[in-house]
Amino acid sequence: SLWWFDQLADLVPNHVLSTKLPEGAPASWAGRTLVCRSLNMIPVEAVARGYLTGSGLVEYEESRTVCGLALPEGLEDGSELPGAIFTPATKAEVGEHDENVSYEEVARRIGAETAAQLRQATLAVYARGRDIARERGIILADTKFEFGFDGDELVLADEVLTPDSSRFWPADSWEPGHAQPSFDKQFVRDWLTSPASG
């Protein structure tokens, strides 16, 4: 995340104050510790999608929409979308699953101005990540961000563009119509939802 925070610093501030090991902390924490500012977190998972897959694909197959956004006919697993879309989700309690919601629902819950800021920042950060990944032969299919406020300032927090929060695909083998090879945790999800997992 630190490398990505540096790449995104001109788009949106982040919560990192220091990467130095706090005094008295165990030496084993070196390189794995961040000192971050405390934020009032926005209770929304800020998801950006440039490709159709995962829960977005499931919803599309049922309604031709994702989070209330109408999408063109004929898309399939792995299809590139006409443009990146903001597809927010609720932040579920521990042990529960996040639920996709419409932009209008997010605006109702957190206010129209905050929802607009969240959407704009999410799509800007996704676009930068997508472009950087593309230069390296990698597709950033979709990703999740978390934001909070420090006073009136919108701040990017938590992890950013990691294999745990994002779907990364090798560009040289991308082919819509099936699940893509990935550089993330998707292969574990695929196995868990397959008959092989029991």
Determine the average pLDDT of the residues in 151-167.
93
> How large a percentage of the chain has pLDDT more than 70?
93
pLDDT digits (tens, 9 = 90+) for 88-138: 998 777 667 778 999 999 999 999 999 999 999 999 999 999 999 999 999
What is the pTM assigned to this prediction?
0.88
**What's phi and psi for 51, nearest 5 deg?**
-140, 155
Structural domain count of the chain: 1
Dist CA 125 CA 132 (whole Å)? 11
Res 19: pLDDT: 82
What tens digit of pLDDT does each residue of 31-66 get? 888 888 999 999 999 999 999 999 999 999 999 999
Distances (CA, A) of 65 to 17, 167, 185: 40, 20, 25
- Cα dist. 148→11, 15, 118, 138 in Å? 15, 9, 9, 29
Question: Which structural domain, as residue segments, surrounds residue 67?
Answer: 2-171
Mean pLDDT for all residues in the chain = 91
**Tokens matching residue 197:** 């997992």
Residue 155 belongs to a domain: yes
Position 97 in a domain: yes
Query: Does residue 15 fall inside a structural domain?
Result: yes
